[in-house]
Structure 1
């Protein structure tokens, strides 16, 4: 924490809505609290400042006491993390400190998407709001990612039965747009699975979530979905644009089931060769091919 005056510290504390809003409170909340308290403690200031310091100290203490309130009511569970709803924020806490590297991978991927990706396509991925280290009462330190919460959306894992062709086509199209955007920014998702694709049917919205597996060398795979992965991931733990295209194709093929038209089956076959070099490498170019084989009214 950079040196600041008493007045600056009081102003920062007054403006904070949570303890995490104060600078330098992520890596060690206890040490940060003591540093802030030293700046504004009523016993360390002049008599003229004591009333102001007392109010600031009370606010700081309340913020610190409530710093972990978000982790008392789980909102859901992911592959490696528990999810907690905190207003418009979704707090993602790994169950094991051993998975901190995957949380780092997600944070790095989302930062790169926002820095290098075309801003027009940002709705296709969650926005990273902040990342910090949480230390529990057993002194275990886990990296937490705080994401923008997307309300009113459900996962493709929740789709029961065969998916109709009309719905499947807009979902498939948007998946290809999302992947093309990520690949142009140099990011590989690495785990295009039903539970990692959020959709809003009414708005035809799609968000690709859980970027913990991002990169050319995925740190892990989702064992329960191992049959969704192409050979290069299962055998060599390597990934590229063709990997994401393969997984998106497998996902949509399984969701459509028996309703899948013959033209889309031929299209899917060309995207799921075992050898990645034989598959399409450019999701946006593939989108053009996709549009050529679906009815015009399905392209929106």
Structure 2
């Protein structure tokens, strides 16, 4: 008995066994008609047209031979513009595109990318978790602006939910956030800084626009890595944010001091004091902030950043937990909302 496996000549799909030697089969997938002997008796269907392009009216840029569709602006830093984009192909992904405005800043972006690549490769304790809370490099290259000028650009993976900075939080809560919310922001930031320091790096610019929060999950990401450096080879900051002068220490601002783990922890405390409605220059906070937290913020503001002493972010995080326990009792989940979140 002869067995014959029939396949559709139009699309390659398997055909069911014919009911008779001279029967006619119709492919369920593409509609082609085939004789029981396998010969096509109806023309093969034309190749289906490609899918229509996604949002053809939106601008497109190419980085490292990959084209991206710009979906909107995420933020504007001192030297860069940051956009949400998606790869312009059928199999796509969302990305963050960071583009330098000034041509001279290309070295800063290159340095940032190299630091983050190194951190993604680190074997420091907790890397499997904490590297997801850092920008994850995808590609780097240049993009051409509307005038045809090539500007340095970086592409990072998009992490859903992390779309609000502490600067955005202060705009929504101009009188300061609930101190209970500031506690989890502070603790998440210190945990991440603890990992970064143990991986051998300092961030150097722990500022409100570089701290992204996830309001529902009480998570935090750290971005803005152009000032980062290795602890064993610390150098003065090559760039500072003029709009955030009060978050730096005088020696760092004047170029005579170098960023250290202690300065990262202290700048973090200044950012938390600010988002509470306080003054980063003095560490003072509004009177509604419980005394244990207010005292700890002032202590971190005055003793960490300029002292040169060894400071461990994990130890400071435990101090925050103790102060929060004294102020609010046992830990509990407190809902925190921002525009776009329920």
Tell me, yes or no, whether TM beats 0.5. Answer: yes
How far off its partner does 1:173 sit?
Answer: 0.3
* Runs of at least 5 residues in structure 2 that lack an aligned partner in the other structure: 1-59, 87-93, 278-285, 334-342
Task: Report 1:99-178 matches (<5 A).
Answer: 99-116=105-122, 117=124, 118-134=127-143, 140-152=149-161, 153-159=163-169, 160=173, 161-178=175-192
Query: Is the counterpart of residue 262 in structure 1 residue 291 in structure 2?
Result: yes
Q: Which structure is higher in RCO with an 8 Å CA cutoff and minimum separation 6?
A: 1
* 1:234-267 alpha-carbon deviations (Å, 9 max, x no partner): 1225211111111110111122231322112221
Going from structure 1 to structure 2, the CA distance change for 1:77 and 1:70 (only over 3 Å counts) comes to farther
Is the 1:271–1:280 contact (alpha carbons within 8 Å) kept by the matching residues of 2?
no
Aligned counterparts of 1:290 and 1:133: Cα–Cα separation in 2: 43
8 A Cα contact 2:261 2:312, kept in partner:
yes
Structure with the largest fraction of strand: 2
Q: Give the structure 2 partner of residue 198 of structure 1.
A: 212
Find the counterpart in structure 2 of residue 218 from structure 1: 237
Q: Secondary structure at the match of 2:97?
A: strand
Residue aligning to 2:96: 90
Task: Summarize the Cα distance change of 1:241–1:264 in structure 2 as closer, same or farther, 3 Å threshold.
Answer: same
Larger Rg: 2
Residue 245 of structure 1 corresponds to 265
Q: 1:187 offset after TM fit, Å?
A: 1.6
Q: TM-score, normalised by structure 2?
A: 0.63
TM-score (norm. length: structure 1): 0.71
C-alpha displacement at 1:101, in angstroms?
A: 1.6
Distance 1:212 1:128 in 2: 14
Matches within 5 A, 1:39-54: none
CA contact (8 A) 1:291 1:299 kept: no
User: What residue is the counterpart of 1:52 in the other structure?
Assistant: none
Is the 1:82–1:94 Cα contact (8 Å) retained in structure 2? yes
Question: How big is the alpha-carbon RMSD for the aligned residues of Structure 1 and Structure 2?
Answer: 2.5
Q: 1:136 to 1:180 in 2, by over 3 A?
A: same
Distance 1:140 1:67 in 2: 13
Q: Could you give the per-residue CA deviations for residues 252-285 of structure 1, whole angstroms, max 9, x where no partner exists?
A: 1122231322112221222222762366611012
Corresponding residue to 1:292 among 303, 322, 325: 322
* Cα drift, residue 133 of structure 1: 3.1
Contact 1:232-1:239 at 8 Å conserved across structures: no
Q: Does the 8 Å CA contact 2:61/2:144 hold for their aligned counterparts?
A: no
Per the alignment, residue 3 of structure 1 pairs with: none
Relative distance call for 1:71 and 1:240 in structure 2 (3 A) is: farther
Query: The residue matched to 1:207 in structure 2 has which SS?
Result: strand
Distance in 2 (CA, whole Å) between partners of 1:204 and 1:143 is 33
Distance, in Å, in 2 between the alignment partners of 1:281 and 1:90 is 33
| Equivalent runs, 1:31-42 vs 2, <5 Å | none
Deviation of residue 83 (structure 1)?
A: 1.7
Asked if the contact 2:227/2:238 (under 8 Å) is kept, the reply is yes
User: Partners of 2:72 and 2:180 in 1: how far apart?
Assistant: 35
